[in-house]
Amino acid sequence: MAKEIVLSGIRSTGNLHLGNYYGALRNFVRMQDDYDCNFFIADLHALTTNPDPQQLHASVKQILAEYLAAGLDPEKSTIYIQSDIPEVSELYLLLNMHVGIGELMRTASFKDKARKALGIGPATEGADDEAFEHQIIGAETNKRVNAGLLTYPTLMAVDILIQKATKVPVGKDQEQHLELTRRFARRFNSFYGVDLFPEPQNYNFGAAAVKVPGLDGSGKMGKSEGNCIYLIDDPKVLRKKVMRAVTDEGPKEPNQPVSQPVANLFSLMELTSAPEVVAHYRQAYADCSIRYGDLKKQLAEDILAVTTPIRERINDILANEDYLRRVVADGAERARARAAATLAEVRQVMGIRKF
Ligand code: TRP
């Protein structure tokens, strides 16, 4: 039986941090044996926020190297760059004929990004949508909300539908985009009376889903939170970050409940340290003998044991341009084969025929 098609896109912004690694990447790596996996760098999506060309170029390469270093295997998975598949751009145009500007404007991510582009603050509870829409249409300064931003969900739907993927491992923040993808697929199929696009589902890692907290004592690790440990952090930087992590004054009485910042450090330990190490520090907390400085030193070394081999591979891979070029050329060839087949079906169904 043919393996199910899994697909996920990675926007080419910033570096990979421990949250990306444990939250997503490690699971991608595990899926490679059981599914027909497709992972790509979404550089066209990155263009919606008008990045600096040189930076975009560098970051596509960087992200690619980081994913390969962390275990995505071009022998098992199809790994490609979105803009290498011209069929995606053509289907994006065609699918847009069946997408409403209203439904796009109501997408949460669009509202956020449009506000940013116009330089107005984040939406507040019960915000006046009408005034907001008015601003988008009426803006006639050099601030504008580009059409690419509006049609971001169309492009994402095309990424998925053109490969006929049925499982899409993405985080909660992408749920709405996936819902739109299903709607567009259904709409297209029913408009033309065909069964061309399958409806993709989010791939839930279930029990394997882990939350990776940041070092600032609050919530999860995130780029915009500034509380990240990056895979490429060198030992000096990494140790410094961990030693500076937020804690509390320490337990005053035996078996005291653990505060959030300290619980976060224990969570990071659970991910990276040996079970007996975690048990040792939990016991030390319980009997009030714990010294956070020792815990942090241990934690930093255990994190380094995970990241150091990856960091070294990242640097090796980045230095090997030939290898990188081969990986994406090979990936593009495979991804284009399927994309071209789907596009041909769509053109036929929509009535675009050659004489
Ligand atoms: N929008 C996704 C993100 O911001 C990236 C993405 C683009 C994607 N196309 C995709 C994810 C297709 C899954 C499938 O992270």
pLDDT in tens, 126-148: 666 677 777 777 766 677 889 99
180 and 308 fall within a common domain? no
Residues with CB under 6 A from ligand 1: 7-9, 11, 42, 45, 156, 159-160, 168, 170, 174, 177
247 and 304 fall within a common domain? yes
pLDDT at 134 (0 to 100): 76
Separation between Cα atoms, residue 225 and residue 115, nearest integer Å:
19
Q: Is position 227 within any domain? A: no
C-alpha distance across the termini of the chain, in Å? 38
Question: What is the average pLDDT across 78-103?
Answer: 98
Closest approach atom of ligand 1 to CA 159: 12
* pLDDT > 70? residue 206: no
312 and 185 fall within a common domain? no
Task: Tell me which of 76, 116, 223, 297 is the catalytic residue.
Answer: 223
Closest CA to 64 of 92, 83, 91: 83
* pLDDT > 60? residue 207: no
pLDDT in tens, 266-286: 999 999 999 999 999 999 999
Question: What is the average pLDDT across 61-65?
Answer: 95
* pLDDT > 80? residue 81: yes
What CATH number did the domain enclosing 16 receive? 3.40.50.620
Residue 241 designated active-site: no
pLDDT at 34 (0 to 100): 95
Q: Is position 168 within any domain? A: yes
Q: Is position 110 within any domain? A: no
Report which protein residue has its CA nearest ligand 1's atom 4: 11
Q: Is position 127 within any domain? A: no
Separation between Cα atoms, residue 116 and residue 145, nearest integer Å:
9
What CATH number did the domain enclosing 304 receive? 1.10.240.10
257 and 277 fall within a common domain? yes
Write the DSSP symbol of residue 258: P
Task: Tell me which of 113, 164, 167, 296 is the catalytic residue.
Answer: 113
Closest approach atom of ligand 1 to CA 171: 15
Closest approach atom of ligand 1 to CA 42: 7
Indicate the range of 75-79, 114-118, 242-246 predicted with least confidence: 114-118
pLDDT in tens, 282-325: 999 999 999 999 999 999 999 999 999 999 999 999 999 999 99
pLDDT at 258 (0 to 100): 95
305 and 172 fall within a common domain? no
Indicate the range of 83-92, 198-207, 342-351 predicted with least confidence: 198-207
pLDDT at 57 (0 to 100): 92
34 and 88 fall within a common domain? yes
- Residues above pLDDT 90, as percent of the chain: 78
92 and 205 fall within a common domain? yes
Q: Is position 107 within any domain? A: no
306 and 244 fall within a common domain? yes
Q: Comparing 125 with 263, which gets the higher pLDDT? A: 263
Give the total number of structural domains in the chain: 2
Closest CA to 108 of 45, 169, 173, 48: 173
Closest CA to 35 of 200, 175, 195, 187: 200
Q: Is position 171 within any domain? A: yes
164, 89 contact by CB (below 8 A): no
- Centroid of ligand 1 to alpha carbon of 63 (angstroms): 14
246 and 179 fall within a common domain? no
Q: Is position 104 within any domain? A: no
Report which protein residue has its CA nearest ligand 1's atom 5: 9
pLDDT at 189 (0 to 100): 98
- Centroid of ligand 1 to alpha carbon of 45 (angstroms): 8
Please state, in angstroms and as integers, the Cα–Cα distance from residue 141 to each residue in 113, 120, 137, 138, following that order.
Answer: 17, 14, 11, 9
Q: Is position 72 within any domain? A: yes
Residue 354 designated active-site: no
Task: Indicate the pLDDT class of residue 347, thresholds 50, 70 and 90.
Answer: very high
87 and 27 fall within a common domain? yes
197 and 240 fall within a common domain? no
68, 26 contact by CB (below 8 A): no
- Centroid of ligand 1 to alpha carbon of 258 (angstroms): 37
Closest approach atom of ligand 1 to CA 165: 14
239 and 94 fall within a common domain? no
> Which residues constitute the domain of residue 290?
233-316
